[in-house]
Structure 1
Amino acid sequence: MMQRSHADLVARQSQSPSATTALAASWRRSLLKHGLDPADRRRPDRLPHHELAERRQAHERLLHVAAPQLDQLFNLVCLSGCNVLLTDATGVVLDQRVNDADAAQFRDWGLWQGADWSERSQGTNGIGTCLADGRQVTIHRDEHFHTRNIGMSCMDAPIWGSDGRLVAALDVSSARADQTERYNRLISAQVAQTARAIEAVFFRASFPDARILVASDEPGEAAALLAVDRDDLAIGATRAARRVLGLEREGALRPRPAADLLGRQDDLAGFDKAERAAVTRALARAEGNVSAAARALGIGRATMYRRMARLGLGGK
């Protein structure tokens, strides 16, 4: 009876023009756009083993850098009957952490590797709605679209790739019937923090030969990181940095001088900046020894001193 009333409630709210919350919007998408039935009790579809292996291979670098973060998150929530999941951008579960004692329940729910938890497939749920909206969400028990999912609570955060596009969702789902919304908020905060950490590590791994700079010191929910090559050109930026600096929202980044983006000003221009950078690097490698730096640059010591004076550099 309770399940039938839930299905009726979802159907009414989904079709009500006065329902304007984000949850109602998701229910409406599930019912009207995706044509789902809230009373449908079928488990989520699961990919065949070979297809899941192919997806994992395609996301090998992400899975590699995320693994320690998933382990750490699971260590924090495992005693409260939680399952930690990492999906791709389509909502397919690629990796998970779960206690043996809780595995049967989560497997029965379909919260398992290879399962499709997109909103298109399962209606409103933590993973699918997080990916559909591109934001952190908590879907608590009867906020789920399908009646078969109302026994779980799901806390999710998106993970953005080095190209500014959505690449994954991080999910913690609870099997406990006594899970409170207050406790969900604590877990949700930890999920968001872990998602940001994965995003930052993944960004660094995507630009192994670049210097990584913090593009903004303003407090925020995500790291604003900039990847800079050996010519001091910005060649990559996290989604947060793209937003802060007004760069392309997603896709390849048009190389720009990092100093221009970060608002660093000096009195030099053009080739003088490049020369100063080259002289500074040579001095640093020679630990300030002008003669050794001059030899490294292939110029005489006197010439080196003249250039240093013109460029406003000192030495010994």
Structure 2
Amino acid sequence: MAKDPEPDHPDRVRRTLDDAAGPARSALAASWRRSLTVHGLAPEDRGRARTVTDRQLQEARQAMEPLMLAAQPVLDRLFLAVGDTGCCVLLTDAQGIAVDRRGAAVDDEIFHLWGLWPGSDWSEAAEGTNGIGTALVEHRAVTIHRDQHFHTRNTALSCTTHPIHDHLGRLAGALDVSSARADATAIMLGLISNAVGDAARAIETQAFRQAFADARIVLAGGGVADGADRSAALLAVDRDDLVIGATRAARVALKITDARIAAQLPASDLLGSAAETDFSDSERGAVRRALARSGGNVSAAARALGVSRATLHRKLNRLGLSGH
């Protein structure tokens, strides 16, 4: 499946880092520098990957349970897309601990040996430069191909990783596809990167919809570019058309913060007059039905709609409707 780890890899790493300007010119060299000087790792390390205890793994899984639930069907689909190429799929938490996995049984022994298994610690502090740890540190999608890894023992691997954010826009983990194929080409790695990116966005979207299941989900434009990544900018809007949630992409694109949401942020302030019209069209029918069922009584209609009387009066004025 793969060639032996590169024997001269440690020398290559150290020669690169002997050039003081190297880390300033190369993101890879900067990660190697962190691995060597910040984390105190040695590139010649051929030992086993670091793992956490069963209890620590269970705690990590419990901490990201909503995201893991959202991820299950996406992980299945991603493995169906890449599994035949000798890849396995890993989901990690924000610390780089692998919490879930998909892989072919025929590859389990070798992938387990390399640490591509639940409970393995793929943080940059543990493994040096690698797809998962470096993606989490640099907060971007990365592919670390074979001898771009810091540890010699990992130089037979190609790892493509995209960060994943939770419903509050916080870094929550990473999605990785790793392969030990010696013949992996740039085209193959590019296709894998696209598949991983699509899957990461699908997990984020599903987790967001789960977290705001009772809210209206609004697409705020086409998304925001993040390197080669492009994520859907979604808003969760309540019955008063106030934003109660936003994906990371929406937060970046529209400069949304927790403080702005807490201060009651109208969706129309973010999306413009077209959104106001869309909201008005959908609201008009709901408000008219509530008024009709209450015989025009504003207090009763407000209770039926789950809003305050004052809020409903504001809506009536905006929509050009009346009640009593």
- Please classify the TM superposition score into its range, dividing by the shorter chain length: 0.7 to 0.9
Partners of 2:134 and 2:75 lie apart in 1 by 21
The 1:174/1:139 distance shift into structure 2, 3 A limit, reads same
Q: 2:71 maps to which residue?
A: 66
Partners of 2:117 and 2:231 lie apart in 1 by 28
Task: Please tell me whether residue 14 in structure 1 is matched to residue 10 in structure 2.
Answer: no
Task: Choose the corresponding residue for 1:118, options 104, 123, 140.
Answer: 123
Q: 1:3 maps to which residue?
A: 6
1:121-270 to structure 2, matched below 5 A, reads: 121-217=126-222, 220=225, 221-248=230-257, 253-254=261-262, 255-264=264-273
Structure 1 ranges of 4+ moved more than 6 A: 265-268, 274-278, 307-310
Partners of 2:34 and 2:105 lie apart in 1 by 35
1:119 partner amino acid:
E
Q: 1:99 maps to which residue?
A: 104
Q: Deviations over 1:111-162 (max 9, x none)?
A: 1100000001000000001101000000010110011100010011011112
Give how far 1:5 is off: 1.7
Please say if residues 282 and 293 of structure 1, whose CA atoms lie closer than 8 Å, have aligned partners that are also in contact.
no
Q: 1:32 maps to which residue?
A: 37
Partners of 1:164 and 1:267 lie apart in 2 by 25
Partners of 1:178 and 1:267 lie apart in 2 by 54
Q: Deviations over 1:149-177 (max 9, x none)?
A: 00010011011112221101000000212
Task: Choose the corresponding residue for 2:58, options 40, 43, 53.
Answer: 53
**Residue aligned with 1:17, SS:** coil
Return the TM-score normalized by structure 2.
0.83
Please say if residues 164 and 251 of structure 1, whose CA atoms lie closer than 8 Å, have aligned partners that are also in contact.
no
Structure of larger gyration radius: 1
The 1:309/1:162 distance shift into structure 2, 3 A limit, reads closer
The 1:292/1:29 distance shift into structure 2, 3 A limit, reads same
Task: Please tell me whether residue 42 in structure 1 is matched to residue 47 in structure 2.
Answer: yes
The 1:234/1:61 distance shift into structure 2, 3 A limit, reads same
Partners of 1:82 and 1:278 lie apart in 2 by 49
Partners of 2:124 and 2:203 lie apart in 1 by 23
Please say if residues 140 and 181 of structure 1, whose CA atoms lie closer than 8 Å, have aligned partners that are also in contact.
no
Please say if residues 87 and 178 of structure 2, whose CA atoms lie closer than 8 Å, have aligned partners that are also in contact.
yes
Partners of 1:129 and 1:179 lie apart in 2 by 20
Give how far 1:312 is off: 3.8
1:132 partner amino acid:
V
Please say if residues 5 and 153 of structure 2, whose CA atoms lie closer than 8 Å, have aligned partners that are also in contact.
no
Moved more, 142-151 or 290-299: 290-299
Please say if residues 89 and 103 of structure 2, whose CA atoms lie closer than 8 Å, have aligned partners that are also in contact.
yes
Please say if residues 155 and 191 of structure 1, whose CA atoms lie closer than 8 Å, have aligned partners that are also in contact.
yes
Structure 2 portions without partners, runs of 5+ = 301-314
The 1:114/1:264 distance shift into structure 2, 3 A limit, reads same
Q: Deviations over 1:281-301 (max 9, x none)?
A: 232x47xxx7546456469xx
Please say if residues 14 and 31 of structure 1, whose CA atoms lie closer than 8 Å, have aligned partners that are also in contact.
no
Q: 1:86 maps to which residue?
A: 91
**Residue aligned with 1:172, SS:** strand
The alignment of Structure 1 onto Structure 2 pairs a total of residues equal to: 298
